[in-house]
Chains A and B, each alone.
Chain A
Amino acid sequence: MLRYIVQRVALMVPTLFGVAVLVFLMLRAMPGDITDVMFRAEGGGVPEALIQAERQRLGLDQPIWVQFGRWFWGVLQGNLGVSMWTGQPVTYEIAIRLELSLQVAIMATILAVLIAIPLGTLSALYKNTWIDYGIRIFSIAGLAVPSFWLGMIIILFLLTLFAWHPPLTFTPLWENPRENLSQLIWPALAVGYRYSAVATRMMRSTILEVLQEDYIRTARAKGVFERLVVVRHALRNAMLPVVTVIGLEFAFLIGGLVVTEQVFNLNGIGKLFVEAVTRGDNTLVQGLVLLVAATFILVNFAIDLLYGLLDPRIRYR
Chain B
Amino acid sequence: MSAVPGTPDIAYAAPKRRHPVATFLVQQPLGAAGLGVIVVMILAAVFAPWVAPYDPLQVDYVNILAAPSAEHWLGTDNFGRDVLSRIIYGAQTALSVGFLASILGSTVGAVIGVTSAYFGGRIDMAIQRLMDILLSFPIIVLALAVVAILGKNIVLGVDVNLVIAIGLPMVPKVARVVRSAALAIREMPYIDAARTAGFSHSRIIFRHIVPNVTAPYLIMLTAFVGQAILLEASLSFLGLGVTEPTPAWGLMLSGSAIGFYQQAPWMIVFPGLAISLAVFAFNLFGDSLRDWLDPKLKL
Contact = CB atoms under 8 A, between A and B. Distances in A.
Contacts of B146: 26
A258 B284 CA distance: 26
Nearest to B233: A146
B22 interface: no
Interface string B262-299: 10010011011001111110011001000000000000
Contacts of B283: 140, 143-144
B138 A254 contact: yes
B269 A153 contact: yes
B268 A255 contact: no
B148 interface: yes
B136 A19 contact: yes
A18 B276 contact: no
Nearest to A293: B136
B238 A259 contact: yes
A240 B144 CA distance: 32
Interface in A22-67: 22-23, 26-27, 29-31
B221 interface: no
26 contacts: A14-B129, A15-B133, A19-B133, A30-B148, A140-B284, A140-B287, A143-B283, A144-B226, A144-B276, A145-B272, A145-B275, A146-B279, A148-B253, A149-B253, A149-B272, A152-B258, A155-B261, A251-B138, A258-B138, A258-B141, A259-B140, A277-B148, A277-B240, A292-B136, A293-B136, A293-B137
A141 B226 CA distance: 12
Interface in A94-145: 140-141, 143-145
Among all A-B residue pairs, the 7 with the closest Cβ atoms = A255-B138, A149-B272, A144-B279, A144-B280, A255-B140, A293-B136, A296-B136
Interface size class of A (residues with CB under 8 A): 35 or more
A159 B262 contact: yes
Interface string A258-295: 11001100000000011001101000010001001100
B140 A289 contact: no
Nearest to A197: B283
Given A144-B275, A255-B139, A293-B133, 18 more contacts: A19-B133, A26-B149, A29-B149, A30-B149, A143-B226, A144-B230, A145-B276, A146-B275, A149-B271, A152-B261, A153-B269, A155-B261, A255-B140, A278-B148, A285-B145, A289-B145, A292-B138, A296-B136
Contacts of A256: 140
B96 to A, nearest CB: 19
